[in-house]
């Protein structure tokens, strides 16, 4: 449109229709619009607008990532819709004895992310909404040393956090009762793995964890309290992801001296692997590569790192489209030792 918008028409634009349009914008734009004027800010933070925006599902998930080690970590959030990285001033966990201490993400559910602090022997858990930077520190619970955590929503506003200890014990935190319960042990019939990968997926009432030694998937139905183990025949390291209620596995294979990133779908009944797609990365020339994969709502963020190369891409399961992602922090990222991250659905109304 080249014509100037007529103020006589637009000044009478219905207020309720304006809210409907605003609620359907990318969430990053909504946050920026709060700074336009006091009227817009009051509208966006109002309960009516919160209820309206909660009914609108964001098309893509965001990815919360941390780079570094236990001594120094930096945070970045990636918005795949705007193809942009954000560098938030992560909430300061005031309970930490050291003010500069940071947390790293261990699980998520919708718009909430569960963080753990850097206490090696007894890490604390915090549930946070990264968009509003509101958070809650969870009580300590009975399990002091734990190896993995899972999270799922409990109704429309509540959530549940599962803590899995090193000696088969587990317990569940319920945000409704604000306490830990269901303290128990995983049945002896399940082969205890040598290593459980941090990233988990949540589908309906069930949490899934990828483990190694033996290679397989461990699941826990929070509604029935039943643990199940599915062993997988795999000759390579695989990372667990979730796409529209389907379990996916992502891994690297070498083909004709080229490194390929492959995606498999885990069949529901047989837990056999069905290849979905693969893409070669000839620039790595068969070098040893570290892979980190985050996934939710049909979109994967894959990070490949070798000795002197770093590549980040997103993959859309529905369209089979690969998109290159520019690396945050530029060349500084190549010096970082560790990458942690989680996918979450951005939401302004999610309450920790």
Give 26-51 pLDDT, tens digit per residue: 777 777 777 778 887 887 777 777 77
- Specify the DSSP class assigned to residue 286: T
More confident residue, 102 or 346: 346
Pick the CATH number of 57-344 from 2.40.50.100, 3.40.190.10, 3.40.630.10, 2.120.10.80: 2.120.10.80
Give 57-112 pLDDT, tens digit per residue: 667 889 988 876 555 667 888 999 888 888 766 444 444 444 334 678 889 988 89
pLDDT score recorded for residue 270: 85
pLDDT band at 335 (very low <50, low <70, confident <90, very high): low
Q: Which long-range contacts (CB under 8 A, 24 or more apart) does 252-260 make?
A: 252/289, 252/291, 252/304, 253/278, 254/286, 255/280, 257/285, 257/286, 258/282, 258/284, 258/285, 258/286, 259/284, 259/285, 259/286, 259/287, 259/289, 259/304
Least confident of 1-15, 126-140, 235-249: 1-15
Do residues 164 and 170 touch, judged by C-beta distance below 8 A? Answer: yes
Give 253-285 pLDDT, tens digit per residue: 877 777 888 889 998 888 888 998 888 877 766
| Domain ranges (residues) in the chain | 7-50, 57-344
Percent of the chain scored above 90 by pLDDT? 15
Give 149-207 pLDDT, tens digit per residue: 899 988 777 899 999 998 899 999 999 999 999 889 999 989 888 888 777 888 888 99
pLDDT score recorded for residue 311: 82
Name the nearest CA neighbour of 149 among 175, 174, 168, 170: 170
pLDDT score recorded for residue 177: 92
pLDDT score recorded for residue 228: 93
Average pLDDT over residues 238-248: 83
């Amino acid at each position: 449109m080249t014509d100037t918008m007529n103020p006589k028409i637009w000044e009478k634009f219905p207020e309720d229709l304006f809210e409907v349009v605003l609620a359907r914008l990318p969430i990053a734009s909504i946050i920026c619009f709060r700074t336009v004027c006091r009227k817009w800010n009051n509208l966006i933070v109002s309960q009516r607008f919160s209820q309206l925006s909660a009914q609108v599902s964001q098309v893509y998930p965001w990815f919360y990532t941390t780079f570094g080690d236990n001594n120094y970590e930096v945070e970045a959030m990636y918005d795949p819709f705007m193809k942009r990285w954000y560098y938030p001033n992560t909430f300061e966990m005031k309970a930490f004895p050291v003010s500069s201490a940071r947390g790293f993400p261990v699980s998520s559910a919708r718009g909430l992310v569960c963080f753990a602090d850097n206490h090696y022997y007894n890490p604390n858990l915090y549930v946070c909404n990264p968009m509003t930077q509101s958070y809650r520190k969870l009580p300590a619970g009975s399990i002091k040393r734990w190896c993995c955590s899972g999270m799922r929503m409990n109704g429309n506003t509540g959530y549940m956090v599962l803590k899995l200890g090193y000696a088969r014990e587990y317990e569940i935190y319920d945000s409704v009762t604000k306490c830990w319960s269901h303290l128990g042990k995983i049945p002896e019939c399940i082969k205890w793995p040598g290593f459980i990968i941090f990233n988990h997926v949540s589908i309906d009432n069930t949490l899934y964890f990828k483990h190694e030694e033996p290679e397989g998937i461990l699941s826990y139905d929070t509604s029935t309290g039943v643990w199940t183990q599915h062993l997988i025949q795999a000759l390579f390291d695989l990372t667990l992801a979730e796409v529209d209620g389907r379990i996916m596995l992502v891994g690297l294979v070498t083909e004709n001296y080229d490194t390929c990133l492959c995606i498999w779908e885990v069949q529901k009944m047989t837990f056999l692997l069905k290849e979905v797609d693969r893409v070669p990365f000839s620039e790595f020339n068969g070098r040893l590569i570290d892979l980190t994969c985050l996934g939710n709502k049909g979109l994967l963020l894959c990070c490949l790192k070798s000795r002197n190369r770093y590549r980040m891409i997103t993959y859309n399961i529905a369209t089979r489209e690969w998109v290159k992602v520019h690396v945050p922090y530029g060349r500084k990222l190549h010096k970082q030792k560790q990458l942690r991250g989680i996918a979450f659905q951005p939401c302004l109304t999610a309450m920790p």
